[in-house]
Structure 1
Amino acid sequence: MRKHWQIMNKGNYNKYNMRLLIIGLCFIFGLNSLTYAQKVSSDDLLKQAMEQTNLNKDYDKAIQLAKQGLTVSPDYTDIQLLLGRLYLIKKEYTQGEMMLKKVLEKDPENVDALNYLINGFYAQKKYSDAIRYADVYLTHYPNDEQMQLKKVDFTTLQGDLKSAYDLSDSLSKRYPQNDKIRLINNDLMLLTRQNRVGVGYSVTAFDQNGRRPWDIYNVSYMRSEKNGSIIGRASYADRKTAKGYQFEVEAYPIHGNSYSFINMSYSNSIVFPTFRFSYSYFFPQKNGWEPEAGIRYLNNEEDFVSFVAALGKYFGKYWLSGKVFVTPHDDKVATSFALSGRYYIGESVDDYVTAIAGYGFSPDDRGRNFDIGNRINIQNARVTLGYQRTLWRRNILGLFGSWNNFKYNADNRRNEYDLAISFQHMF
C-alpha cells in the first residue's frame, strides 16, 4: 500500500511539472507574440504617418500617428526622426530639436538627424548652431562637399566673410574641378575686398572749331561694410576758361531688402556746382522689378530741385531701366528721360556692357550739371556705350563713350563727345 501511494504521488508530481512546463511555454510564446504584435503595430503606424506626411501633407495627423507609434515602441529611431522632422515643418523647433537630439544620443553619426537639425537651425537663422552641428557632421563625414558648402553659406550669412572666404578657398584647392565651389570662392574673394581705390579721367571734345576740350580727373576711395558702402571722391576739372576742385561723399546704405543712394558734394569753383545733394530710395522686388524714387538738388548761383522716378527689371543677366527727371524752373517744367540697358558678363556685378539713350538735360550728368542754368531747357539727345571688366580678380577697368547733341535753336546745334576711362583696385 505504501509502495502504491508512492507510485501515485510520483505520477501526480510528474503531471504537476508537466502543467507548469506547459504554462511556462504558453507565457513565453505569449510574450513573443505580444512583442511581435507591438512591432507590427509600430511599423504600421510609421507607415501611416509617412503617408500622411508625404502624400496628404496632413502634418497634424502624422504627428498624432507618430506619437502613437512611440507609445508602442518608445525607442523606435525611424519614428523619432519622422516626428522630429514634422515638428520642424510645423515650426515647433524646440520639440523638434529635442526629438532629434534623442536620436543623436544613441547614434551620434545619424545622417538624417544631423541634417534635420542643421536645416532647422538654418530656418531659424541660428547660424552659429547650424555651423556647430555642421562641424559635428563633418567630423563623421569629412568628404561631404555639400555640407562643406553649407558651412560656407552659414558663415557668410553670419556676416563673417573672411572666415567664409578662408573656407571656400581651402575647398577650391581641395576640389579644383568643382565649378560651383570655384564660383562661390571668387564671389567671396571679391566680397572680402572691403577697400577700393580708383582713378579716372574723362575728356569732352566739341565739333566747334577753336573750342578746346574739357578735362576732368578724379581719385576715389571706397569702403564696403555689411550695412553698405561709402565713397570719398576728389575731382579736378580744367575747362580751359576756368579750373577747380570738387569734393564729394557718396553712400549706399542697406535697409533690409532695400537700399539708398546718397551723394553730397561741394566746390568753390564755377566749373562744378557749388553744392549738390542727391538721394534715391530703391525698392527691389522678389520678381526682379526695382522701383526708384528720389530727389536732386543743385546750387550754382541758382537753386534747382529735380524729382526722380525710375523702374528697372532684371531679365536673367540683363537689366533694363527707364528713368525720368522733372525739374520745375522759371514757371516751366523741364523733363528728362533715360532708357538704360546692361548685360552682365559672368557672375560679378562689376563685369558688364551697357548702353544708355536719353533726351533732355539730366542733373546726374557730372560733366555738365555745373551749367544747368543754361542747358536745362535746351533740346538734348544723348547716347552712351560702356564696358567694364574685372582684371586679375582685384582690378576693374572701365571704358565709356558718349555723344551729346544740343539744339540751341533751329540753326544752332552742337555736338559734344565724351570719352572716360576708370581703374579701380580692390584690397
Structure 2
Amino acid sequence: MGTFRITFRILIVGILLLSGISSAQSQWFRSKDNADEMYEQAVQLTNQKNYNRAIAVAKEGLSQRPEFTDLELLLGRVYMLTGQWDLARKHVDNVLKNDEKYLDAYYYKINIEVSSKHYKSALTAVDGALKAYPNRKDLLLRKLGILDVLGYIAEGNNLADRLIRQAPRDKDIQQAYIGHHLENARRYRAQDLPSAAISSLDKVFAIDPGNLEARELMGTSDLSVHTRSTMANQISAELESNPTSYEWLMKKLNMLREDLRYAEALTVLQTIYRYHPNDGVARALERELREEAAVFYTQTDPYMLYQSILEKDPSNREALRKVIGLATSRGAYREAMTWVNAGLRREPSSTELLLLKLDLLEYERQFSEASQIAGNLLQRSPSNTDMRARYVDLKIASSRYYVSQQQNDLALRELELALEINPQDSSVLESMVNTYAAQRNYDRALETLEQQISVTNNDHLKLKQASLLTDAGRFDEAGDVLQDLINAYPDVPQYLTAFTENRLRAGNRLLQDDEYALAAQQLRAVLRRDTNNREAINYLINLYSATNELDSALYFTDLGLASYPQDREILLKRSSVLTSMGRFDEANREVRSLMDRYPYTIRYRDAYTENLLSAANQAKRINNLDGALDNYRAVLAINPKDSVAQLNIINIQMERLAYDSAQYYIQQSLQWNPNWTDIRLRRAQAYEAQRDFLRASADADTVYTQQPSVINRDYAAYLKSRTLKNQFGMHFLRSRYDYSEDKYDIATLEYIRTFKKGTIGGRINYAGRASGTGLQAETEMYYTHNPKWYSYAHLAFGNQVAFPQVRLGYSLYRTFKNESEVGLGVRYLQRDTLRSTSVLGAYSKTIGDFWVNLRGYAVWEAQDIASSFALVGRYYMNNRQDFLSTTIGLGTSPDDRSRLIQFSQLTGLLTRSVGAGYQRTFQYRTSLGINGTWISQKVGPQNFQNQYDLYISVMRRF
C-alpha cells in the first residue's frame, strides 16, 4: 500500500512537470506574429484575383491578431468582390464597431448594401459616414444616388439642390444633379405626370442646355402631347403648397374621374382617407368609382381582358405575352416584370421570357442584373454576335453606374468580365482607363491606355495619354508625347494647346515645391511657343517676385503689358514690383491710374494705400520724417480710418515733442475707434509729457479697464500718484556711539505740498535729552524756474537742546539733456557762539538704472577752513519706484542731521563714513525706507571713535 502511494505521487508530479514543460514550450516556441506580412500577401493575392487564397491568408492573419482592422477590412472587400455579401457585411461591421472614423470601411459598407439591393441599409450606412465626415462630397453624391434608387424624390431634390447651390461649377456635382433630375423625369413619365417630368428636364437644361438624353425625353409624344389645362395646373399648385387640402384633393379626384383615369382617381381617394379618415362622402364615393372602373376596364382595356384570361388560365402563353407587352408599352415596367417572373417560374429556361426580362431590366437601368441574363443567354448561344455585343454594352453601362455611385472596384470587375468576352473591345478599354483615372491609379490607367492604343492604332489617343501623364505629375514624359504629336500633326492646334497646358501645370507644380529655377524653365518654354501666354507671364512675375529677382519680375510685367496694355492684374503686379524696388512714385502712379479708372474697386485703393505706407516706412528708415508724414497724411486722405497711418503720425509727432499735433491725430483716431487702446495710451503719454496728469490718469485708467495687464495697472497707478498734491511722512533717526553712553534719537513729522512749479513742505523734529527736550521747525522748497533750472531753499530754527539755533541753505541746479546736472549752493549754521558758512558744489549723472551724485563742501568757521565730500549711488528698480543706495563720505557735511549738534567739535577731525539703504514704494503712494551708516572719527594719533546711525522713514501721498 505504501509503495502504491509513492508511485501515484511520482506519477502526479511527472504529469505536472510535463504540463509545465508543454506550457513553457508553447510560450517559448510560439510562432511569431506575422500578421503584417500576411496583410501584404493578401493584398497581392486580391490584386491577382486569387480570391480564395486571399481569404485564407486574411483569416490566418486575423487569427494571430484579431484587432487588425485593416486586414479585416481587406477580408470584407474580398468577400464583396466574390459576391458573398453577408460575410462581407459581417467583417466591415466589425471594423466600424472598432473605428467609427474608418472612411474606407464606410465605402465598403455602402457598396455591400447597394450591391445586395438593401438600399435602405445603404442609406443608413451613408448617413453614418456623413455623421463622421459631414460635408464630404463623394458621400453626399452616394446618398443622392441611393435616394434615387429608393424613389425618395423629395429628399433627393433637397439634397441635389443643396449640392448645386454650394458648388455650382463642380463637374461631379453637376453630373449627379443632371442624373438625378433625368431619373425623376423618367419616373414622372412612367407615372403619366408630364408637367412634373418637364419641370425636372428644365432643371437639367439649366445646367446642360445641350443634354441629348433630356432632349429625347422632352421630345417624346407622351410629354409633348399631354398638357395640363389651366385647372389642372392650379390643382397641382394648390396641392403642392397644401397636400392635405380636402377641397383640392376632391377636385383632382373628380377631374381624373371625368377623364376616365380611374386608377389614379382611386389613388387620390386613398390619400383623402389618410388625411380625412372620417369623411362620409369619400366612403360613399369609393363604391361608385370601383363600379365605374370595373365596367370601363372590362369593356375597353385589353390589358384587363388578358389579365382576366390569365387569372383563369395561368399557362396561356399568348395572354402572358399580351399582358407583358401592354404593361411595357404603358411604361409599367415593374408590373411587366412581375408577369415575366411569374412566367419564368413556370418556364425557367424560356429564351423569350429571358429576353423580355433583359429588356425590362435595361429599361429600368438595372444594368448589372441585365448583363447577368445576357451572359446566361450568351452561354446558350456562344456564336450569337448580337448577344455578345449586347452583353459587352451592358457591362459597360453597369460599370458606369458603379462609377457614378463611387463603387470603382465593382465597376472594374464588370469591365474585366466584358474583356473576357472581347479582349479587343476599345470601348471597354476606354471605360477601364476612365475608371482607373477616377481612382487616380494612373499607372494602371496608362497601362490600359497603351493596350487600347495597340488595339485601335489611333495616334490621337496619345493626347489622353499625355493628359494622364500630366495628372500623374510625369510632366516631362507628357511633354515628349505631345511633342511627337505636334511633329506628326503640326496643323492640329489642339496638340499645341495641350503642350502649353502641360508646361503650365509643370511650372505650377514646381512652384508649389519651391523649385523656382526648374519652374522658370517650363514657363519660359511656354513663352517660346506662345509669346503672349498670359498665364505663363503671370506665373513668371510671381516667381521672380517671390525670389526677389525684381528686375526679371519687372521685365515680365512689361512683356505682359506689351500684349495686354490694359490688363489690370499685370498693372497691379507691376506696381507691387516697383514698390519692392523702392520706386514708390512710379508704383503709386500705376495704382493711381487704376484707382482713377475703377474708383469702386477696393483692392486698387488698398494697393495704393499699401504703396504709400511702404514709401512712408522707407522715409522713416532714412530719418526723413517730413516725407514719412506726407505719405501717411496721403493715406488718411484716402481712408481716414487707416490705423497704421494714424499710429505712425502720432508716434512721429510725439517723438518730435509736438504734443499738440499728436493730440489732434489722437482725437481723430478715437472718433473712428473709441476703444483703440494703443491710441488712448499714446494720449495718456502726451498728457503726461504736457504735465496734465489729471487727464493722463483718466486715460490710463481707461486703458487698464480695456486691457487689464500688470504694465497698464502700474502706469495708471503712477499717473494717479502724480495727481496727488500732498505727502505725509514720519521719520526716526537712532544714533549710537562706542565712546559714550548717550543716546541721540530724532523723531520727525513731515508734510509736503506739491504745486505747479515744485514742492514746499515743513517738518517738526523732536529729540529727548537729559538736559531737556529738543525741538526744531524746518521748511524747505524745490522750485522749477524752467526745464533747465531749479532751486532748493531750506530754513530751520531750533531751541539748542539738541539742534542748532539756525540753519539756512540755498542751491541752484542746472540740468542737461544727457540726464546730468550740476549745482552750486551755500549753507549757514548757528549754535551758541558758533558761526559756520559752507559753499556746496554738486554733480549728478543718471546711467541707465544707476544714479550717481558727488558733493563737495568748503566750510568756514572763524579763521578755520575745512572740507568734506560725499559720494552717493543709487540703483533703481521697478520702474524707478524702488532703489538701493550706498554712501561714502569724507569729513563732516553741514547737511548731516545726526552730527550738526557736534559740528564745532567735529569740523577738524578726520571723519570717514559708509552707508547703505533701501527704499520700497507701493503703488507710487506709500514709501518705506531704511538706511544704516557707520562713521569713524580720528580723535588722536592712534585713537578713533565710532558712530552708528539707523534711519527709518514712512511716507504716504494723498
- TM-score tier after normalising by the smaller chain length: 0.7 to 0.9
User: How far did 1:256 drift?
Assistant: 4.5
Residue 836 of structure 2 aligns with which residue? 304
Q: Pick one of 767, 778, 782 that aligns with 1:252.
A: 782
Cα distance change, pair 283–394 in 1 and its aligned pair in 2 (3 A):
closer
71-80 or 250-259, larger mean C-alpha shift: 71-80
Distance (whole Å) between structure 1 residues aligned to residue 924 and residue 626 of structure 2: 45
Q: Which secondary structure state, in structure 2, belongs to the residue aligned with residue 361 of structure 1? A: coil
For 1:335-346, list aligned pairs within 5 A. 335-346=867-878
Query: What TM-score do the two structures reach when normalised by structure 1?
Result: 0.73
Distance (whole Å) between structure 2 residues aligned to residue 388 and residue 96 of structure 1: 45
Residue 272 of structure 1 aligns with which residue? 804
Distance (whole Å) between structure 2 residues aligned to residue 149 and residue 70 of structure 1: 35
Q: Deviations over 1:64-88 (max 9, x none)?
A: 9899999989979558778989999
Q: Deviations over 1:37-77 (max 9, x none)?
A: xx89x9599859x837xxxxxxxxx9x98999999899795
Amino acid in the other structure paired with 1:241? S
Cα distance change, pair 267–404 in 1 and its aligned pair in 2 (3 A):
same
Q: Pick one of 891, 896, 899 that aligns with 1:365.
A: 896
Q: Given the alignment of the two structures, is residue 405 of structure 1 paired with residue 939 of structure 2, yes or no?
A: no
Q: Which secondary structure state, in structure 2, belongs to the residue aligned with residue 168 of structure 1? A: helix
Q: Pick one of 200, 203, 228 that aligns with 2:758.
A: 228
Q: Which secondary structure state, in structure 1, belongs to the residue aligned with residue 896 of structure 2? A: coil
Amino acid in the other structure paired with 1:263? A
Q: Which secondary structure state, in structure 1, belongs to the residue aligned with residue 771 of structure 2? A: coil
Residue 682 of structure 2 aligns with which residue? 150
Q: Given the alignment of the two structures, is residue 426 of structure 1 paired with residue 957 of structure 2, yes or no?
A: yes
Residue 115 of structure 1 aligns with which residue? 647
Q: Deviations over 1:91-136 (max 9, x none)?
A: 769x967x86665454221334433543454356443442342233
Cα distance change, pair 162–365 in 1 and its aligned pair in 2 (3 A):
same
Q: Pick one of 851, 858, 871 that aligns with 1:326.
A: 858
Q: Which secondary structure state, in structure 2, belongs to the residue aligned with residue 409 of structure 1? A: coil
Distance (whole Å) between structure 2 residues aligned to residue 121 and residue 342 of structure 1: 33
Residue 24 of structure 1 aligns with which residue? none
Cα distance change, pair 346–274 in 1 and its aligned pair in 2 (3 A):
same
121-130 or 149-158, larger mean C-alpha shift: 121-130
Residue 188 of structure 1 aligns with which residue? 719
Amino acid in the other structure paired with 2:937? F
Distance (whole Å) between structure 2 residues aligned to residue 332 and residue 264 of structure 1: 25
Q: Which secondary structure state, in structure 2, belongs to the residue aligned with residue 377 of structure 1? A: coil
Cα distance change, pair 391–107 in 1 and its aligned pair in 2 (3 A):
closer
User: How far did 1:425 drift?
Assistant: 1.0
User: How far did 1:257 drift?
Assistant: 4.5
Distance (whole Å) between structure 2 residues aligned to residue 126 and residue 285 of structure 1: 17
Larger radius of gyration: 2
Distance (whole Å) between structure 2 residues aligned to residue 293 and residue 86 of structure 1: 48
Question: Percent identity among equivalent residues?
Answer: 26
Tell me if structure 1 keeps the 8 A contact 2:751–2:762. Answer: yes
Q: Deviations over 1:115-163 (max 9, x none)?
A: 3543454356443442342233234445544323212211212322122
Distance (whole Å) between structure 1 residues aligned to residue 594 and residue 762 of structure 2: 68
RMSD of Structure 2 on Structure 1 (CA): 4.0
Q: Given the alignment of the two structures, is residue 383 of structure 1 paired with residue 383 of structure 2, yes or no?
A: no
Residue 849 of structure 2 aligns with which residue? 317
Distance (whole Å) between structure 2 residues aligned to residue 33 and residue 385 of structure 1: 79
Residue 283 of structure 1 aligns with which residue? 815
Distance (whole Å) between structure 2 residues aligned to residue 168 and residue 105 of structure 1: 30
Amino acid in the other structure paired with 1:406? Q
Tell me if structure 2 keeps the 8 A contact 1:194–1:223. Answer: yes
Amino acid in the other structure paired with 2:869? F
Amino acid in the other structure paired with 2:731? G
Residue 214 of structure 1 aligns with which residue? 744
Q: Which secondary structure state, in structure 1, belongs to the residue aligned with residue 930 of structure 2? A: strand
Tell me if structure 1 keeps the 8 A contact 2:777–2:797. Answer: yes
Tell me if structure 1 keeps the 8 A contact 2:758–2:782. Answer: yes
Q: Pick one of 661, 664, 667 that aligns with 1:135.
A: 667
Amino acid in the other structure paired with 1:377? G
70-79 or 112-121, larger mean C-alpha shift: 70-79
Residue 692 of structure 2 aligns with which residue? 160
For 1:70-89, list aligned pairs within 5 A. 78=609
Query: What TM-score do the two structures reach when normalised by structure 2?
Result: 0.35
For 1:61-72, list aligned pairs within 5 A. none
Distance (whole Å) between structure 2 residues aligned to residue 374 and residue 417 of structure 1: 18
User: Of Structure 1 and Structure 2, which has the larger fraction of its residues in strand?
Assistant: 1
For 1:21-40, list aligned pairs within 5 A. none
Distance (whole Å) between structure 2 residues aligned to residue 327 and residue 100 of structure 1: 61
Distance (whole Å) between structure 1 residues aligned to residue 946 and residue 787 of structure 2: 42
Q: Which secondary structure state, in structure 1, belongs to the residue aligned with residue 663 of structure 2? A: helix
Q: Pick one of 383, 397, 416 that aligns with 2:947.
A: 416
Residue 241 of structure 1 aligns with which residue? 771
Tell me if structure 2 keeps the 8 A contact 1:276–1:299. Answer: no
Q: Deviations over 1:190-241 (max 9, x none)?
A: 32233211111222223245x4312222111112345322222222233433
Q: Deviations over 1:2-37 (max 9, x none)?
A: xxxxxxxxxxxxxxxxxxxxxxxxxxxxxx97999x
User: How far did 1:360 drift?
Assistant: 0.8
Q: Given the alignment of the two structures, is residue 204 of structure 1 paired with residue 727 of structure 2, yes or no?
A: no
Distance (whole Å) between structure 2 residues aligned to residue 365 and residue 203 of structure 1: 13
User: How far did 1:259 drift?
Assistant: 4.9
Amino acid in the other structure paired with 1:305? T
Distance (whole Å) between structure 2 residues aligned to residue 140 and residue 241 of structure 1: 74
Residue 263 of structure 1 aligns with which residue? 793
User: How far did 1:365 drift?
Assistant: 0.4
Q: Pick one of 706, 715, 724 that aligns with 1:174.
A: 706
Tell me if structure 1 keeps the 8 A contact 2:807–2:827. Answer: no
Tell me if structure 1 keeps the 8 A contact 2:835–2:861. Answer: no
Residue 7 of structure 1 aligns with which residue? none
Distance (whole Å) between structure 1 residues aligned to residue 613 and residue 595 of structure 2: 12
Residue 10 of structure 1 aligns with which residue? none
User: How far did 1:423 drift?
Assistant: 1.0
Cα distance change, pair 212–112 in 1 and its aligned pair in 2 (3 A):
closer
Distance (whole Å) between structure 2 residues aligned to residue 86 and residue 144 of structure 1: 26
Q: State how many pairs are aligned.
A: 381
Cα distance change, pair 378–227 in 1 and its aligned pair in 2 (3 A):
same
Q: Which secondary structure state, in structure 2, belongs to the residue aligned with residue 238 of structure 1? A: strand
Q: Deviations over 1:338-387 (max 9, x none)?
A: 222222232234x2222212121111101222432222112222222222
Cα distance change, pair 394–411 in 1 and its aligned pair in 2 (3 A):
same
Distance (whole Å) between structure 2 residues aligned to residue 297 and residue 359 of structure 1: 20
Cα distance change, pair 277–65 in 1 and its aligned pair in 2 (3 A):
farther
Amino acid in the other structure paired with 1:240? A
Which ranges of structure 2 fall in alignment gaps of 5 or more residues? 1-563, 597-604
For 1:38-53, list aligned pairs within 5 A. 47=579, 51=582
Amino acid in the other structure paired with 2:899? R
Higher relative contact order (CA 8 A, sep 6+): 1
